Chains A and B, each alone.
Chain A
Amino acid sequence: MDTLTPYEVEEKVLDEIVGKYKGSPGVLLSTLEAVQEANPLKFLPQKTLLQVAKKLNVPATQVYSVATFYSFFNLKPQGKHTIVVCRGTACHTKGSRELLNSVGQILGFRYEFDETEPSYTTPDNEFTIRTVACFGQCAQAPVVAVDGVIHSNVNAPKLLKILKKVKSSSYAKNQSK
């Protein structure tokens, strides 16, 4: 599934991280966190999970269990830029769903809106699109956050402008988290 992305943390780096946390309480959690942080695409590929399991001598399934339990772990590559579309009630009535579909059109993929899918990343790893239950900025609906910066009263043309700016990378680059 994720085979197209070659980004995996090097064995050497992995060993350093494992060495750092070995024996400490919550070792699996801290290791996974550090390993994800070390990955340029901020995610935990399958191979990395298996390596961590092996090095910490815990079952791979347990590693997977932890990685899927905490929402801050990503099992899919995260784009350089993150677009979060609010799916709260206010945003919904002001057309956040159409907005999501527009994001798809703008970025050149078919975004079948599916409530169960937490995120989608474009094949070129430029953008990750996610939804959030509510930003709490309902007065300015619909709300979209791009690389952590909140934009209010967004419509498709406005979003297009923002994304163009982002892509030309003069804008809030790598403002991660």
Chain B
Amino acid sequence: MQVIIDNKPYEVQEGMTIEQACMQAGIRIPTLCNLKDVSSNASCGICVVEVKGAKSLLRSCITKVTDGMEITTNNARILRARKMNVELLLANHPLDCQTCERNQRCELQQITYEFGIDQRRLPRTRPKQLERDYSSLSLIRDPEKCILCGRCVAVCKEVQTVSAIDFAGRGQKSKISTFMDMGLGMVDCTNCGQCALVCPTGAIIEKSHVSQIWEAIHDPKKVVVVQTAPAIRVGIGEEMGMPMGSLVTGKMVAGLRRLGFSKVFDTNFTADLTIIEEGNELISRIQNNGTLPMITSCSPGWIKFIEHFFPKSLPHLSTCKSPQQMFGAIAKTYYAEQAGIDPRDMVVVSVMPCTAKKYEAKRPEMDGAFDYWKKKMKLTAEDRFFDVDYVLTTRELGRMFKEVGIDFKSLPTEDFDNPLGTSTGAAVIFGATGGVMEAALRTAYEILTGDTLKDVNLKAVRGMDGIREADININGTILKVAVAHTLKNARILLEQIENGTSPYAFIEVMSCPGGCLGGGGQPIPTNTEIRMKRAESIYEEDSHKFIRKSHENPEIKYLYDNFLKKPLGALSHDLLHTKYVERKM
């Protein structure tokens, strides 16, 4: 069908919104509340246009095109109305850009600038100064910076089916809040950070560990080692101004070294380790009539979700700790021993695409290394340390690079340090939805059949469909597996388990859309297109790896021979496996 936009005819498809039609015609209509695939509550009124025959201005983000529609996107009335709507938001907004985490990446700031608004013109209408919410270990909410666009509410409700946050109050007292204003840390929030990822302002941000990390790096007594999750190498480039999905493993390593970390290790190493433990756990459950389906446990948002909403299904979770936590436990035992470092002086920093990892690191049971040393070194409760000390998001790491003026694009490529930096292609795909499943199957298949896998690429579990399933033929027995990303899809698979209709033996769940590469700690923006690009880079890295199966990682073999002894053994039990609890609000 045809529409007229600013006096020029354009061919458009039925069902498009005016905003989409304009975009196609090369006119970007400013929007604040609308976000593709997430939120369309049309509350901000920034996107208005004039349509011939309509008395009032129309919101282009929700109004569909009709044949012959005559649309005007630029006249005095439109620009005045848009500006007024932004000024109304600014009336209650602190003008604190310099000290705001979102400075220079804030959609409100950008629009204010583009609209040429150079002062706060309208008086404040909100009666009360709203307090910040510091109760969460992962996120900080600042309702004063909130413009009530509703994106966070939509993502939490529709994508994650958690609904930890919603609108509360009305009129001038409207705000986004938790149940009884208890604070994110006190309710059933999973810490996934998807709300922070979609927020157009600085109203939801991660709880930063940057200053503590600088302090540790600058402390000569401390040995500060860093691990990087698989998804960082396809995200940090964006944060440093490179094209979306840029694969920058070597530059990232070089940059981390320049920040002053003593050793640059790889979470991929313990991703391989996870596969050995988890693969063996699966086999043992299958062979010993254990609880099936077994579900992966790498995604801490997912863990908190099942603890809150499906506690009856906790026995289905693999007891394996996540790769981040396995890394901390191994670094402060095996590596500390090897390198002769007092574990009390070692600081383990992780770079994660994830805000929930900050919470996970502080779960009280995550001190396996301390337990390991307690008797040997006669440690007291005062010496207690966590396996992982600090967690940085991809965004925070980008800031550290910028703070010390690292010219990321021109960095050379460097290799990870040994021994905790050696990894396989199976580990890197942990960063994409379906990757843990594929990696586990590469190993489980070979252990169970004794054969070599002809094609390691298990394409059936790849992709971006919400739930994907596959049948794996193991010596004539069919192993049914499924992969889900986002908690909404995880919920579907859990409901099947609880009503007894789940046909699967093994399930992978990742909390965030696209898996870790779309995690709540990744660069902003993160959208469908960007997630696809990051996934491509992940699979590219895998395809270039010389070794692509976790059980063939030589450093992992060495670790078992010289330290852990055997998968699911006593030491594994103490350091690499964990328990879960039922959580109430």
Contacts and interface: CB of A to CB of B under 8 A. Distances in A.
Contacts of B178: 61, 64
B394 interface: no
A62 B177 CA distance: 10
B168 A64 contact: yes
B237 to A, nearest CB: 37
Interface stretch (B90-98, B158-166, B270-278, B412-420): B158-166
Interface residues of B, number: 20
B36 interface: no
A65 B168 contact: yes
Contact of A64 (B128, B166, B170): B166
A147 to B, nearest CB: 26
Given A115-B127, A116-B128, A61 B169 contact: no
B127 A61 contact: no
B180 interface: yes
A72 to B, nearest CB: 12
Chain B CB count within 10 A is highest, among A69, A71, A115, for A69
Q: Is the interface of B mostly helix, strand, loop or mixed?
A: loop
A65 B127 contact: no
B180 A46 contact: yes
Contacts of B585: 50, 60
Contacts of A59: 157, 162-164, 166
Contacts of B187: 60-61
B165 A61 contact: yes
A37 B169 CA distance: 21
Nearest to A59: B163
Contact of A65 (B128, B162, B166, B173): B166
B170 A61 contact: no
Contacts, number: 48
B169 A69 contact: yes
Interface string B353-366: 00000000000000
A120 B558 CA distance: 68
B167 interface: yes
B90 to A, nearest CB: 21
A62 B179 CA distance: 8
A116 B127 contact: yes
Contact of B167 (A60, A65, A75, A115): A65
Interface string A45-82: 01001100000000111111100111100010000000
B170 A69 contact: yes
B128 A61 contact: no
A115 B173 CA distance: 12
A45 B145 CA distance: 30
Contacts of B128: 116
B381 to A, nearest CB: 32
A61 B188 CA distance: 10
A69 B177 CA distance: 12
Nearest to A53: B179
Nearest to B156: A61
Chain A CB count within 10 A is highest, among B165, B167, B188, for B167
B49 to A, nearest CB: 31
A69 to B, nearest CB: 5
A75 B173 CA distance: 15
Contacts of B127: 115-116
Interface in A13-70: 46, 49-50, 59-65, 68-70
A71 B173 CA distance: 12
Nearest to A61: B166
Contact of B179 (A61, A70, A71, A115): A61
B244 to A, nearest CB: 33
Interface of A: 46, 49-50, 59-65, 68-71, 75, 115-116
9 contacts: A59-B157, A60-B179, A61-B166, A61-B177, A62-B166, A64-B180, A65-B168, A68-B169, A115-B127
Query: What 9 A-B pairs are tightest by C-beta distance, nearest first?
Result: A59-B163, A116-B128, A65-B166, A61-B166, A60-B179, A68-B168, A116-B127, A68-B169, A69-B170
Given A60-B188, A61-B187, 20 more contacts: A46-B180, A49-B179, A49-B180, A50-B585, A59-B164, A60-B179, A61-B163, A61-B164, A61-B166, A61-B178, A61-B179, A64-B166, A64-B180, A65-B166, A65-B167, A68-B168, A68-B169, A75-B180, A115-B127, A116-B128
